[in-house]
């Protein structure tokens, strides 16, 4: 199964008085890079999250965000009596001074007093975060399942595309083999003609030595090995696409080998048709390599 490194998933859940929202996304990367943003007041949660992602994802830059909110109405509210006494004393002092200076102040309401910072306190008390953490981790498993379903769906499309490109490459290899065979017949004829011309117009030239040099030229321009290796790479890539687990790096290496053989083919071509096929191969291999960058 082929997985794409690009994926996204989001979920929401709640265990009163808490509610949460997940967001998980990933993009291409050379290895596995995990970044998380989650509440730090839930002990051990980040380590569990990272372990779960590492078990579910083999490669990619993964970013996870978790937001947890608590129902404010469930938090006990108390008065800071010391703070309240201090504020009331200050208000009395202000009102007394206002009378001396013949100033008229509007009555202070209870709501205004409560609005003063430090008068009203919310006490979260000691929260047992274990049930919340257990619920979050259970929901995370579902989030990762949905995330991997999306990556698998994109991976299936990638696999189909890559198999199509491999078939096109195989077709070009066949055309290159035919062009190379025609070129070989033409080159053999020219080599025989050149050999005869050299022997007719040169003194003290050993025919065997000339034949060896011409044979060496023929070997250096032989492209059968490159075509055989290209065909072997096609089969190796198809085999990889049928395996499970991360295969992106291996496919990337294979695409580099494809390109190496195509370059050698072009350098040995000595034929307009074979050069054209080699350039088509290079263009197609580059397209394939771009898609391989998305494979986990």
Pick 279 or 110 by higher pLDDT: 279
Cβ 83 vs Cβ 122: under 8 Å = no
- Which has the closest alpha carbon to 18: 65, 73, 61? 73
pLDDT tens digit sequence for 245-270: 899 999 999 999 999 999 999 988 87
Which one of 119-123, 190-194, 229-233 scores highest in mean pLDDT?
229-233
What percentage of the chain reaches a pLDDT higher than 90? 58
What percentage of the chain reaches a pLDDT higher than 70? 82
pLDDT tens digit sequence for 160-188: 999 999 999 999 999 999 988 877 666 65
Q: Give the whole-angstrom CA distance, residue 10 versus residue 213.
A: 69
Pick 223 or 212 by higher pLDDT: 223
Q: Where in the chain is the domain with CATH 3.30.230.10?
A: 7-73+129-151
What is the reported pLDDT for 123?
47
- For 55, counting Cβ atoms within 10 Å of its Cβ (0-12 exposed, 13-18 middle, 19+ buried), the class is exposed
The dotted CATH code for 7-73+129-151 is: 3.30.230.10
Query: What is the chain's length?
Result: 296
SS3 state of residue 151 = helix
This prediction's pTM: 0.70
DSSP count for the chain of H helices, then E strands: 8, 6
- Rg, C-alpha atoms of the chain: 38
């Amino acid at each position: 199964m082929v997985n794409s490194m690009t994926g996204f998933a989001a979920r929401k859940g709640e265990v009163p008085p808490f509610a949460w929202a997940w967001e998980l996304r990933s993009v291409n990367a050379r290895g596995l890079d995990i970044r998380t943003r989650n509440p730090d007041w839930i002990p051990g949660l980040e380590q569990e999250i990272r372990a779960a992602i590492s078990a579910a994802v083999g490669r990619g830059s993964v970013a996870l965000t978790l937001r947890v909110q608590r129902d404010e109405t469930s938090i006990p509210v108390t008065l800071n009596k010391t703070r309240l006494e201090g504020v009331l004393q200050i208000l009395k002092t202000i009102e007394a001074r206002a009378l001396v200076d013949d100033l008229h102040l509007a009555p202070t309401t209870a709501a205004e007093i409560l609005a003063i910072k430090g008068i009203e306190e919310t006490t979260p008390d000691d929260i047992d975060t274990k049930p919340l953490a257990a619920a979050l981790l259970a929901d995370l498993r579902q989030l990762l399942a949905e995330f991997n379903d999306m990556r698998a769906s994109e991976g299936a499309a990638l696999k189909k595309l890559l198999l199509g490109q491999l078939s096109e490459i195989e077709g070009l290899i066949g055309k290159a083999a035919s062009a190379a065979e025609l070129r070989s017949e033409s080159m053999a004829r020219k080599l025989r003609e050149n050999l005869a011309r050299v022997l007719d117009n040169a003194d003290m030239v050993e025919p065997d030595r000339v034949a060896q040099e011409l044979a060496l030229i023929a070997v250096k321009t032989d492209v059968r090995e490159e075509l055989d290796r290209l065909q072997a790479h096609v089969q190796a890539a198809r085999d990889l696409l049928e395996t499970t687990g991360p295969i992106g790096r291996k496919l990337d290496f294979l695409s580099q080998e494809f390109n190496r053989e195509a370059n050698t083919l072009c350098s040995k071509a000595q034929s307009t048709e074979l050069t054209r096929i080699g350039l088509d191969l290079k263009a197609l291999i580059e397209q394939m390599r771009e898609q391989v960058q998305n494979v986990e």
